[in-house]
Amino acid sequence: MSDSVDRKTEQVALKEDEKPLVYEWYLVFLLMLAFVIAFIDRQVITLLVEPIRRDLELTDTGISLLMGFAFAIFYVTMGVPIARLSDSRSRKKIIAIGMTLWSIATVTCGLARNFWQLFVARIAVGVGEATLTPAAYSMIADTFPAHRLGRAIAVYSTGIYVGAGLAGVLGGWAVKVISQAGTVELPIIGTLFPWQMTFIVVGLPGLLLVAIMLATTREPIRKNIKTATDGTAVPFSEVISFLWLNKRTFRAIFIAYAFSGTAFYGFLSWIPEYIRRTHDWDIGSAGILFGSIYAVFGTAGTLTGGWINDWMTGKGYQDAALRCCTAFFAIAMPFMVLTPLMPNMTYVIPMLALMAFTKSMQQALSPVAIQLSTPNEMRAQVTSIFFVASSFPSIALGATSVALLTDFVFKDDAAIGYSLAIVGGVMMTLATISMFTGIKPYRASLERSMEWRDDNQAASDRSA
């Protein structure tokens, strides 16, 4: 009798595995597109360094605060309360509200007349974008079976590289076109410089996507719930207790991504300007080149990393996310050191492609590890705490760490390549070491997760 039940269960699992996930992939595509728009709005400032520096009379350190610190203040600190809502309320509506806010805030950046106005507008962009990723990860984890989660989150995570790429390509194109048009006179608003018009142009598409998401997507049913809920968020003390129980796992992941993220955002913020200063390209062309490389090779690396993770999971390595991540960090480190030291663009271009590919391979793996080891009703909150612990230093210090070396150690704008190489080498080495220390504790966390995981993968994990 039990053999018959087992066969029926296996047949149901096979049918679920073969079911075409058309709507599910459509949802991932829309969430990825939202991530793309978020990253364009976040990163277009990296192509506007020189005109903003000139018009607002700033140093590299001053402009770096607008790139990172201003954005990060509420991007991470608002993440926890927003995530508490995401663990119990409609994630779809939360994302729509956030997208509306950050799109309007990006347009407002184009109306800024001084440093502090632009600083406050960048803070507002961060508040809006704080709604997206914790809620998106949770929605995806409730939509896909565990053994396909790596690929699904990898597709979503390509938004970073597609967004950074389009920020470079479209932003570079916009800078060229709008700069040729010169200043614009608008009623009531007055004179707008080309860099201000660029913010306005890139900020508007997000509002259209909000309407599409509200009209065509639905809130997924929650699964993998550890404790019964009445529609309210679990007490924050329970979240902290869960993190403490798994402290060695999360400590390793959080610290590793803080280090690697600092290197990532440092490069993302300064590579176009490095190409302009060191290799005498105009910023529009530098942005288009950088954007094209990141969009193509960053996306390819993210998808490759997600596929490798799923392949290793299928081979029985339930700790694949952290094993792969450790290896990918180590592989990326030398490319991040060598790329900004290349003597000319003939070498910079292929090295930049290799750097983008290898650095992006780990992109989907921290969310996979967190989703698989965290109960549903805590996922968004744990993800937001991950952002506080890792993304704040990454975003706040990535651009600024490079700028501080350039301004106060080398004291030479042309030395930006050396600053990038130092930040990349030190941070990626520390990230590799930290992630390696988390592999064994992560296996223990996954063992504990078997108590509440109700997907087919959990059953296969038990039998493995």
Span 428-464, pLDDT tens digits:
999 999 999 999 999 999 888 877 655 444 444 444 4
What's the rounded Cα separation, in Å, for the pair 262 and 268? 10
DSSP letter for 246, please: T
Spatial CB neighbours of 219, under 8 Å, sequence gap ≥ 6: 90, 91, 92, 139
Q: Which two tokens stand for residue 364?
A: 């989907």
Q: Average pLDDT of 70-78?
A: 76
Q: What is the pLDDT of residues 277-289, one digit of tens each?
A: 999 998 888 888 9
What's the rounded Cα separation, in Å, for the pair 77 and 452? 29
How many Cα atoms sit within 13 Å of 287 on the Cβ side? 26
Domain boundaries, the chain: 20-463
What's the rounded Cα separation, in Å, for the pair 401 and 420? 9
Q: Average pLDDT of 272-276?
A: 92
Percent of the chain beyond pLDDT 90?
37
Q: What is the pLDDT of residues 223-232, one digit of tens each?
A: 766 554 455 6
Tell which CATH architecture fits domain 20-463. Answer: Up-down Bundle (1.20)
pTM of the full structure? 0.73
Backbone angles phi, psi at 360, to 5 degrees: -85, -10
Q: What is the pLDDT of residues 201-220, one digit of tens each?
A: 888 889 999 999 999 998 88
Residue 302 near residue 360 (C-beta atoms within 8 A):
yes
Backbone angles phi, psi at 399, to 5 degrees: -65, -40
pLDDT at residue 20 in the model: 62
Residue recorded with tokens 């001084």 = 114
Could you tell me the end-to-end alpha-carbon distance of the chain, in angstroms, rounded to an integer? 23
Largest CA distance in the chain: 80
pLDDT at residue 463 in the model: 42
Closest CA to 168 of 64, 336, 42: 42
